[in-house]
Structure 1
């Protein structure tokens, strides 16, 4: 009986480890959602609820955490750089605002992180007037905060503009891929 219980715990631990492993092909949104099938509903629910494209949500997660649930920003010596963590790299204070608004959530949970990104980009859009399809400026405001974006704190950080361009480009690629794989899935259903 004791050995069975230990075996059960080991299997449970291994399942937990593999479920949080980043997807193997982060360049293809269809491959990501095929491999991480539970993520698909979360991404599309957040996109629908907040009016943010699914490609934008995925591109933010890719940039912020490389799809790692336990990501934390560190310097070269291993020292933590901020309170950011999880898929979305949400700062503690901003995450607390989200939790109060949405009734809970965990930064290491993909569903909560996808919803957070949609929620926060919606907040940013309301506060700054940035359009929800303007991924580049949404990313600048996500990184700097709405107040920092309004004060143009990003203008002294040329590297951040390059990152924002990359995130916007990746979002457009992901959205195009998602349209193609959705069409492929619809054709499969029609042929069955």
Structure 2
């Protein structure tokens, strides 16, 4: 069965065949492997994360599709993914934001780092996009979205399964909220809503 997206679009036909870079701790390319081999062997690879914040200091969060190869159905605080072969960091971030969220917005690099756990090893760069545009999530990787006030994010994180890599790598680089916000997620539900 082919996975379908929230907008009815098909999911990837064989994401495991995609070529990706195995890299060292500094992000230097060691060799090209398939995504399937990278996941099976827990090989270090380059990833990007894009946190999306609106004019009301709310973070756009999303729930991953159940067919994703890591952390299926978990919630995430950033859009992003594996960089393509020879793809620049900013290009990968813009591509992932457009593919997963259907958004095009100026990006600012706000940090980076490495992460290793649960058989996943990443060298990452973190970007921030500021936009009030609604996500359309065209590629089917996202099944629900919501907006969470930055001041309520820690409480939100404590109440659901979330992708641990983005929490570790993105959370420290999020902007401070500009003012007090009521607790909890907003009523601005996206796609199929938050569950």
> What band does the TM-score fall into relative to the shorter chain?
under 0.3
TM-score of the superposed pair, with normalisation by structure 1: 0.27
TM-score of the superposed pair, with normalisation by structure 2: 0.27
- Asked which structure has the greater RCO (Cα within 8 Å, sep 6+), the reply is 2
Structure (1/2) with the larger helix percentage: 1
Task: Compare CA radii of gyration and give the structure with the larger one.
Answer: 1
